[in-house]
Amino acid sequence: MSRIQATFQALQTQGKKGLITFMTAGDPEPEWTVQLMHVLADNGADVIELGIPFSDPMADGPVIQRASERALAKGVNLPQVLTYVSEFRRTNAHTPIVLMGYANPIERMGLDMFTQCAAEAGVDGALIVDYPIEECEGFVKSMRTHCLDPIFLLAPTSTDERILAVARVATGYLYYVSLIGVTGAGSLDIEAVGARIPALRAAAKLPIGVGFGIRDAKSARAIASVADAVVIGSAIVQCLEENTFPDRGSEKAFQSLTEFMTDIRNALDE
């Protein structure tokens, strides 16, 4: 049983909703990355999505775009991201890590090399935004060879045929995009999200995480009423961005992230 599967089974047994968190590797400071991953895990994150910095993150809004730019400017690349995961695994063997990013860095490394190195580092899955389901046969095969979960996005515009196509190959969980647009944009329509969930459940026997537009405890709790997990990314990256000061070290950023995570976790557990 994979770490992702075990995590969601435990949540179901406990009657709890999952919290999937996103942060960009290397941001706001490369040397903080592993510590920040532990802050997330120690304060209620059930799964950590670790963003691979990329120069043209087309699905991401300005908050995550800036994070990628900062990380790239400090030399953070895919091999370094895998090093962060290896270091995290020295003291945390249970929290699933999902790499999230774009195809270019993976293609440059080589798909089979990527999946092998990811598995060796302790990665559990990957969500590569621009590996479309119609062209992902090699990606899925390589992931499965190394016992990694291929995770895919579904959106309000996804047709029934596309949902079924994703359901045939996805493992781990489904990531449902709550709105049409980029990360951190738009406003949530809980009723619309709830109306789409039954079709996803009918197609795939996987947990459903909902992301894009979840920014606080109130919106997280609302989404948790219709989904198995909430995915929070831009709000976390923005929290770090707003609380990082060149002359003050990491204390303020870590404290602010801890407080943010506590609020979200408490809201989900109420």
Residues annotated as catalytic (active site), given as ranges:
49, 60
Residue 73 burial (CB count, 10 A): 11
* 3-class SS letters over 106-133: HHHHCHHHHHHHHHHHCCCEEEECCCCH
The token duo for 145 is 């060879």
Q: Give Cα separations from 193 to 71, 80, 176, 177, 212 (angstroms).
A: 33, 36, 9, 9, 11
Evaluated on CA atoms 242, 239, 88, 103, the torsion sign reads negative
The token duo for 214 is 């979840």
Q: Residue 254 is which amino acid?
A: F
Number of H helices, E strands in the chain: 12, 9
Residue holding tokens 């890590």?
Answer: 97
DSSP, collapsed to helix, strand or coil, labels residue 22 as strand
